[in-house]
Amino acid sequence: MLIRSASLYLIAHRLRWPISAFYLKKSTMPSSMEQSPDDSNDKKDVYEKAEAYWAHVPCDVDGMLGGFGHLHLPDMIDSKKFISHLKAKRHLINFERAIDCGCGIGRVTKHLLLPLFKTVDMVDVTENFIAGSSKYIGGEDKRVGQKFVCGLQDFEPQERFYDLIWVQWVTGHLTDEDFERFFRRCKEGLREGGCIVLKENVSSSADKYDFDSEDNSWTRPKERIVQLLRMAGLSLLSDRKQTHFPRGMLAVYMFAVK
């Protein structure tokens, strides 16, 4: 699933997003590592291990991107282009309120959502990230509405409340069942004229999940992601591949649904 040079391996243990989240590995994983999230015998254990991992991650941009701070700019550029595309297609009409799901310290909130929306809410399972978000965001934090400390498996957006629900690099921690349930709740949280955007890594395999034992997460095949979104009662409006990421990294896609 990933390439691990000695230097990258050391960086991975100090910074937030594990190297395994981004880089491909040429050797195949044992079959036990190719299971889907719902094959786990204990969902509580799955979530507790993930929470324990993130609790020790630094509250800075390098932490949010696993030492790959250089990914921030191309990530923001393509995300802004995708929102502009959704606006042009009338898939996203109003820009009153958005929510950043899996927000960390607010990297996406600060650089993508606050420049576009009047108010932005935030939700993340890691209390330290939420606590450090005001300092990171700075003066514009006054336009942040509610900040929730909650795992997405338990989070319930207020009904008919958001124009945009942005979900980035976090759904790999959800079991398939909780993925579907979360997006069903998100569907109910949309205002008329709004949409959901999921931005996520896509497995290098067409039909198998990649498992990362460091942060206890799964990377799903693209078709499985689309299938789960449809199972949640959502329709695919548009999808687009992230560009200008280094070669050898897992593909990243943006999916707009409603």
Decide: 118 and 190 in contact? Cβ < 8 Å.
Answer: no
Q: Which helix (H) or strand (E) holds 225?
A: helix 222-231
Query: Scanning the structure block, which residue is given the tokens 């069903």?
Result: 184
Task: Report the alpha-carbon distance of residue 108 to residue 119 in Å, rounded.
Answer: 13
Task: Report the alpha-carbon distance of residue 145 to residue 103 in Å, rounded.
Answer: 13
Identity of the residue numbered 22 = F
146 CB burial (10 A radius; 0-12, 13-18, 19+) = exposed
Measured in degrees and rounded to the nearest 5, phi and psi for residue 209 equal -80, 145
- CB atoms closer than 10 angstroms to residue 8: 16
Identity of the residue numbered 58 = P
Is residue 153 part of an annotated ligand binding site?
A: yes
Task: Report the alpha-carbon distance of residue 72 to residue 28 in Å, rounded.
Answer: 29
Is residue 146 part of an annotated ligand binding site?
A: no
Is residue 126 part of an annotated ligand binding site?
A: yes
- ∠ CA(139), CA(97), CA(70), 5° rounding? 60
Radius of gyration of the CA atoms of the chain, in A: 17
Binding residues: 102, 107, 124-126, 152-153, 168
Binding residues for S-adenosyl-L-methionine: 102, 107, 124-126, 152-153, 168
